[in-house]
Chain A
Amino acid sequence: MTPVEPGDRLSTLVQLRNRTDVSLGSNWTLFAISSYALWALLAIVLFTRTLQPILSFNFVVGLFGTLGFVASAGLSYFVYSLINRHNKHTAREQELFLEALNRARSRTRQDDVRVLLPLSSAEGEFSKLVQKSHERSAVLWALLAFIPYAGWIFLVISLYLLSQDLNAHEHVEQSLLEDIDRMLGASGSSGLPPWTAFQYPRNSLGYAVASLLTLGLFSLFWLHEMVRQPQAHFGNHAIFEPSLLQAFPIPNLGPGV
C-alpha cells in the first residue's frame, strides 16, 4: 500500500499519476468478444439441439459453459480495470486539487480580492467535482458482468454509468481548471498551459440503447471506446499537472500565489 503522506504531498500526488492514469490494452476486448460468442453459441446450440446427436446435453453445457466462464472471467477483470482506473484517477485528482487549493488559500492575503474571487469559485467547482465523482465499486460491477447472460445487461449499465461519470468529471474539471488558471493569472504567476478543451459529452444513453437493440453487440464497440477515450483525458493531466506543481510549491519554500 502506498499512502499519500504529508510532506511534499502535491509532488507525490503528481508522481502517482503514472500508477493511476494507466493505459489498458485493447486486447482485453477479445475476452468480451469471446464471452459474448461462447454464451451466444451455447444458447443457439441448446435451442437448435445441433450437437445433440454427437454430444450429450450435459457435456455441451459443461464444455461451452466452462469456456464461457473463463472468457467471462477475462471480461470481468477488464470491467474491473476500467472502473478501478476511473476511481483511482478521480480519487487522486481530488486529493491533488484539495492540496493545491489549500495551499492557494493559505498563501492568499485576506484583502486580495482579485485572487480570492477566482479561488472561491475554484473551491465551489471543486465541491461540485467531489459531489459528482462517484467512486463506484469496480469489484461489484466486475462480478455482476461475470454472470452469464444477465451479466451483459449489467455490463451495459456499468458502461453507461462510467460514461456519465466521465462526462460529468471532464465538464466540472474544465471549469475548475479555468478558475485555477484565472486565479494564477490574477496572482501574477504564469497560468496553466493550454489543454484540450472538453467539447461535447458522450451520448451515453444512445450507446446504451444501441447496445440493447443489437443484443449487446454494440457494447463491444463501447468497451473499446471506454479504453480509448480516457487516454485523451489523461493526456490533459500530463500537460497541466506539472504546471500545477510549479505553481504551488511546498509551503514556506518558495513564492506562492
Chain B
Amino acid sequence: MARTVLFGLKRIFFDRIFDRSYWTWRRHPAIIVPSMLGTAITVIEQSIYTLALVVFLTILAMRGMIPGFLSQLTQPGGIIAVFQNSTFALYLIPATVVSILGVLLAAIIGGGFVYSSEYGVYMEAWNKDKVSFGSIIENGTRNWKPMAWTIFLSTLLTWAPLALTIAVFVVSAFTATTLAGAVGLVVSSYVFYFGLGASLVLALFTVYSYPAVVIDNVSGLHAIKNSFGIAGRNLGVTLAYSVVRLVFQVSLALLVILTSFIGLPLASLSAAILALLLTPILHSTKTMIYYYAGPTVPEMPFELSNPIWYDISRRLPKAAWAKVKTGLAEGARFLVSPKNLPFHLLSIVAFGGGILLGKYVSDNGIANYLLSNGYVPGRGNPLINQVVPPALGVDIFLNNWLVSIATGLAGLGFGAPSFATILFNGFILGVIVPLSPNLTMFLAAILPHGIIEIPSFILAGSIGIKVGYAAWRTKLGHGPESNNYLSDTLRQTVYVVVGLAPLFLIAGLIEGDITPVIMRMFGWTF
C-alpha cells in the first residue's frame, strides 16, 4: 500500500497528476465525450437565440418590416433605438427575453449535466479499467441538480465583484454629464481593477467547486467551502494548475493571432486542441488534485511513464486514425439502416425548411438592404487571396467538424438543438441564394464542396435527432432497455461524428482551394 505521509509530509505532485491525466485520457478516449458535450451546450445556447432570431426575422419579413428595422439598427445608437421603437419592440423584447432566459437555463441545467458527467467520469477513469458510454449518462443524471446549483452559486460568487464594478462603471458613464457622474466615472474606472482582482482571487479559490460535488457528494455553498479549504491548504499546486491553464490558453490565442498575420488561420485547430485534448486533461488534473488533497487519500506513488511527446507525435495519430476508421464504418451503417430513415428525413426537412425560410426573409428585405449598402453580386470574399492555400482548407475542415460534433451531441437535449442547428445552417444558405447573380453562379460557389459538406452536416443532424429520440425514450420509459438504447445511441453518435472527419477534410480542402477556382471560371471575382 502506498504510504500516506513520508516523515510527516503529505505531498501533492502536480506533474505526476498531469502526467497520469494524459495517460488516463489515452487509455479511456471516452472521457473526451463529456468535454465534447460541453461544446454541445454552446450549440444548444446558440440554437436558442438563432431560433429566436429566425422566428423574429420571419415575422418581420411577413410584415414587410425588415428594411426599416435594418436601417434603424445600423444607425449610431441603433441597438437601443430598435428596442425603443414600439413596432419592433413588440417582437424584439419577447425574443430577447426568451433568448436570455433560455441561454441561462441551458447553461445552468446543461452545465449541471455535463460537469457532473465529466468529473464523475474522470474519477471512474482513474480508478477503473473501463469507462462505458452508459456511465457518461449515469454520472450526468446522478448529480446534475447539485452540480447545477453549484455552478449557479459559484459563478455568482466568483464574478459578482467584477459584475458590480462594471455595473457601477456603466451607470456612471450614463450620468457622466453631471459633475457627480464624472467623478463617479473616474472613481469607478479605478474600482474596476479591484473588482477584477477580487474575482480572479475568488476564481482561484472556487476552482475545485465542481470536483467537490462529485468527490464529496455535496452541493452549493458546501462545495464552494470545501473548494476554499483545499485551495487554501494547497495554494502552491492550485496556483500551478491555474497558471498552467492560463498560459496554455493565452499562448494558443497569441499563436492564433500571430499566424493569422501571415495567412495561416489556426483558430479552429486551437479550438480543437482545447476541446479535445487540453480541457479533458486539465479538468482531470484538477479533479485528481482535489482527490489527492483529501486527508485519507495516500500520497501518489512514484511511477514512470513513457514520454508524452513521443506518444503525441508517434502513437496518437495512429490511434486517432483507428477511431476514425471505426467511425466511418459506423457512419455507413447508420446511413443505410432503414430504421434511421425517419431521422434522416427530419434532418433533411430541417435543412430544406431553413433554406426556404432564409430565402423568404432574404427576398423580403435582407437582400435589398445588403445590395443597397454596397454588396456587389458575383463578388466573393477577398480574404481568400490572403491565406496560405492548404491552411484555409484545414481551418474550414476543423471548424465544420467541431460544429458537426457539437450538432450531433447537442441532440442529447431531446433532439431540438440538432434540429435547430441544421435549420439555421439551411437558413443562412437560403439568405444568400437571392444575393447570387444567377443560379449557375450560386451552384458554382456551393456545389463543389457542398456536395460532400451538406450531406455530412445533415448526417450529423440526423444522428443528433436520433440521440434526442433516445433521450425522450429514457425520460418517458425509465427502464433498463431505454437506458441501454440511450447509451448505445450516444456511442453511435460519437463514432458517427468522429467518422465524418475525412469527409469534412475533403470538403474543407475543396472549399479552400478548388471552389474559388471554379467560382472564378463561372464569373465570380475576388
Contacts and interface: CB of A to CB of B under 8 A. Distances in A.
Interface string B111-148: 00000000000000000000000000000000000000
Contacts, number: 88
Given A137-B14, A143-B243, 12 more contacts: A1-B304, A4-B303, A20-B304, A66-B255, A92-B304, A131-B9, A137-B15, A139-B18, A140-B243, A144-B243, A146-B251, A147-B251
Contacts of A146: 247, 251
B20 interface: yes
A94 to B, nearest CB: 8
The secondary-structure label for the interface of chain A is helix
A66 B251 CA distance: 11
A121 to B, nearest CB: 15
A1 B20 contact: yes
B171 to A, nearest CB: 36
The secondary-structure label for the interface of chain B is helix
Nearest to A64: B258
A88 B301 CA distance: 12
A3 B244 contact: no
Interface residues on B, range: 20 to 34
A4 to B, nearest CB: 6
B264 A66 contact: yes
Contacts of B247: 143-144, 146-147
B6 interface: yes
Contacts of B305: 1-2
B23 interface: yes
A247 B253 CA distance: 56
A225 interface: no
B259 interface: yes
A65 interface: yes
A18 to B, nearest CB: 10
A69 B258 contact: yes
A162 to B, nearest CB: 14
Which of A2, A59, A137 has the most CB atoms of chain B within a 10 A radius of its CB? A137
B304 A19 contact: yes
Contact of A127 (B7, B301, B303, B309): B7
A87 B251 CA distance: 25
Given A140-B243, A147-B247, A65 B258 contact: yes
Contacts of B15: 84, 87, 135, 137-139
A250 interface: no
Contacts of A137: 14-15, 18, 240, 244
A230 B183 CA distance: 61
Given A62-B260, A138-B15, A144-B243, A1 B6 contact: no
Contacts of B243: 140, 143-144
A45 interface: no
Contacts of A186: none
Contacts of A2: 303-305
Contact of B302 (A19, A92, A140): A92
B259 A143 contact: no
Contacts of B248: 143
A248 to B, nearest CB: 18
B336 interface: no
Contact of B258 (A61, A88, A98): A61
A183 to B, nearest CB: 19
28 contacts: A3-B303, A4-B303, A20-B304, A59-B261, A61-B258, A65-B254, A65-B261, A66-B255, A66-B262, A66-B264, A69-B254, A77-B309, A88-B304, A92-B304, A95-B302, A135-B11, A137-B14, A137-B18, A137-B244, A139-B15, A139-B18, A140-B243, A140-B244, A143-B244, A144-B243, A144-B247, A146-B251, A148-B254
